[in-house]
Amino acid sequence: MVEVGPRDGLQNEPVTVPTSAKVAFVEALAASGLQVVETTSFVHPAAVPQLADGAEVLTAITRRPGVRYPVLVPNTRGLDRAMDAGADAIALFAAATDAFSQANVRASIGETFARFAPIALRAQSADLWLRGYVSVAFACPFAGPVAPAAAVAVARRLFDLGCAEVAIADTVGSAAPDDVARFLDALPPDVPLDRLAMHFHDTGGAALANVAVALDGGVRTFDAAAGGLGGCPFAPGAPGNLATESLLAFLDARGLETGVERAAVTAAVDALQPWVGRTRGRAA
Ligand code: MG
Those residues whose C-beta lies under 8 Å from the C-beta of residue 114, and which sit 6 or more positions away, are none
Q: For the chain, how big is the Rg over CA atoms in Å?
A: 17
Residue 140 lies in a domain: yes
Q: From the candidates 85, 175, 232, 265, which is the catalytic residue?
A: 232
Query: Rounded distance, CA 260 to CA 245, Å?
Result: 10
Q: Give the pLDDT band of residue 235 (cuts 50, 70, 90).
A: confident
User: For residue 239, what is the domain's CATH number?
Assistant: 3.20.20.70
**Beta strands of 98-145 (E only): which ranges?**
129-135, 139-140, 144-145
Residue 112 lies in a domain: yes
- Compute the distance from residue 61 Cα to the ligand 1 centre, in Å: 23
- Compute the distance from residue 253 Cα to the ligand 1 centre, in Å: 24
Burial of 58 (0-12, 13-18, 19+ CB in 10 A): buried
Mean pLDDT, residues 111-117: 97
The torsion angles phi and psi of 88, rounded to 5 degrees, stand at -110, -10
Instruction: Give 190's Cβ-side CA count (13 Å radius).
Output: 5
Mean pLDDT, residues 104-128: 96
140 has catalytic annotation: no
Q: Give the pLDDT band of residue 284 (cuts 50, 70, 90).
A: very low
Residue 281 lies in a domain: no
Please give the residue range of the domain that contains residue 259. 2-276
- Is the CB of residue 113 less than 8 Å from the CB of residue 105? no
- Compute the distance from residue 279 Cα to the ligand 1 centre, in Å: 17
Q: Give the pLDDT band of residue 257 (cuts 50, 70, 90).
A: very high
Residue 158 lies in a domain: yes
pLDDT tens, position by position, 136-162:
999 999 999 999 999 999 999 999 999
pLDDT tens, position by position, 49-92:
999 999 999 999 999 999 999 999 999 999 999 999 999 999 99
